[in-house]
C-alpha cells in the first residue's frame, strides 16, 4: 500500500460528520460547488484549508509495538541483596525446640509432683493401717491375758500396785512432815533410842526435805544433836535409816533396792 492510499484511509478514518460540519462553517457562504473537472478561478480567493490539524495521529502498528523491548523502557528498580534463609530457619528451629523443651519440663514437673503426693498419701495410709493393726493385736492380747491371767501376771500386778501405794504414802508422809515435823522427830528419837544404848555414835539417814524440816527442832533433842544426820536422796519422804557399829535399822515406806 503506497503513501497516498494510507493518507486517504487516514483522512476517511479521521473525518466524521462533526469535522465536515466544522469545515462548512469555517468557509461559510464562500463555499460553492465546483463542476467536476473544473478549476477554481484564481480571483475567487479560495484557499485550500489544511487538514493537518484535523487528522488524528494513527495508532502505531501492532508489529512495531511487539518489536519494542518493555524491559528497556522501564527504569530498572534497585534490587535488594539476597538474604540467606539458613540462619533464620536455624534460629526458628532453635526457638521452637527451646519452647517445646520448657513445656515438656513443666508438664513433667506437674506430673511428678502429683505422683509424689499420691505416693506419699499411699505410704501414710499404709503406715496408719499398720499402726492400727498393731494396736489391735496388742489390745486383743491384753484382753486375752485379762480373761485368763497367769501367776506371773498376777504377781507383777500386785507388786506394781504395792509400789504405787508406797509412793502415794511417801508423798502423803512428806506433806504431813512439812506441815507438822514434831511427830516425825519423835519417831526418829524412838528408833534411835532402840539402837543407841551402849553405842558410841549413830548415823541417821533421812530424805533431804525431811532433814530440812526437822533441822530447826534439833537443839531440843539431845539424842539427835549427838547423832550424825545425813541427807540421803535415795530415800523417800518419811523413811528413816539408822546405822551404828554395823547395825542397821530401817523404817521404810518403800523397800530398799540399793543395798546400801
How confident is the model over 127-159, as pLDDT tens digits?
A: 777 767 776 666 566 555 555 555 665 565 555
pLDDT at 260 over 50: no
Q: Which residues contact 234 (CB under 8 A, 6 or more apart)?
A: 258, 260
Q: Where are the alpha helices (DSSP H) in the chain?
A: 3-14, 17-27, 62-67, 70-73, 85-147, 151-179, 181-196, 208-214, 222-226
- The structure's pTM equals 0.28
Angle, helices 151-179 vs 181-196, to 10°: value is 110
CA 90 to chain centre: 35
Average pLDDT over residues 154-167: 56
pLDDT of 248: 65
Summarize pLDDT for 37-77 with one digit per residue, the tens. 555 554 445 455 555 555 555 555 555 555 555 554 545 55
pLDDT of 157: 53
Amino acid at each position: 500500500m503506497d503513501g497516498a492510499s494510507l493518507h486517504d484511509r487516514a483522512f476517511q478514518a479521521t473525518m466524521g460528520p462533526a469535522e465536515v460540519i466544522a469545515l462548512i462553517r469555517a468557509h461559510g457562504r464562500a463555499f460553492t460547488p465546483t463542476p467536476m473537472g473544473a478549476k477554481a478561478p484564481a480571483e475567487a480567493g479560495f484557499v485550500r484549508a489544511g487538514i493537518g490539524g484535523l487528522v488524528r495521529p494513527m495508532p502505531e502498528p501492532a508489529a512495531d509495538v511487539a518489536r519494542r523491548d518493555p524491559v528497556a523502557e522501564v527504569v530498572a528498580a534497585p534490587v535488594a541483596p539476597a538474604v540467606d534463609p539458613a540462619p533464620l530457619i536455624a534460629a526458628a528451629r532453635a526457638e521452637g525446640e527451646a519452647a517445646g523443651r520448657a513445656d515438656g519440663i513443666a508438664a513433667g514437673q506437674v506430673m511428678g509432683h502429683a505422683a509424689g503426693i499420691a505416693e506419699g498419701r499411699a505410704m501414710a495410709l499404709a503406715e496408719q493401717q499398720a499402726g492400727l493393726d498393731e494396736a489391735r493385736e496388742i489390745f486383743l492380747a491384753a484382753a486375752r491375758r485379762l480373761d485368763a491371767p497367769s501367776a506371773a501376771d498376777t504377781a507383777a500386778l500386785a507388786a506394781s500396785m504395792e509400789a504405787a501405794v508406797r509412793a502415794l504414802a511417801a508423798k502423803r508422809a512428806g506433806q504431813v512432815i512439812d506441815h507438822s515435823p514434831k511427830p516425825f522427830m519423835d519417831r526418829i528419837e524412838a528408833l534411835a533410842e532402840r539402837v543407841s544404848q551402849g553405842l558410841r555414835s549413830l548415823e541417821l539417814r533421812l530424805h533431804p526435805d525431811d532433814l530440812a524440816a526437822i533441822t530447826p527442832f534439833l537443839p531440843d533433842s539431845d539424842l539427835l544433836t549427838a547423832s550424825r544426820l545425813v541427807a540421803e536422796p535415795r530415800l523417800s519422804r518419811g523413811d528413816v535409816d539408822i546405822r551404828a557399829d554395823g547395825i542397821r535399822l530401817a523404817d521404810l515406806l518403800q523397800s530398799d533396792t540399793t543395798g546400801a
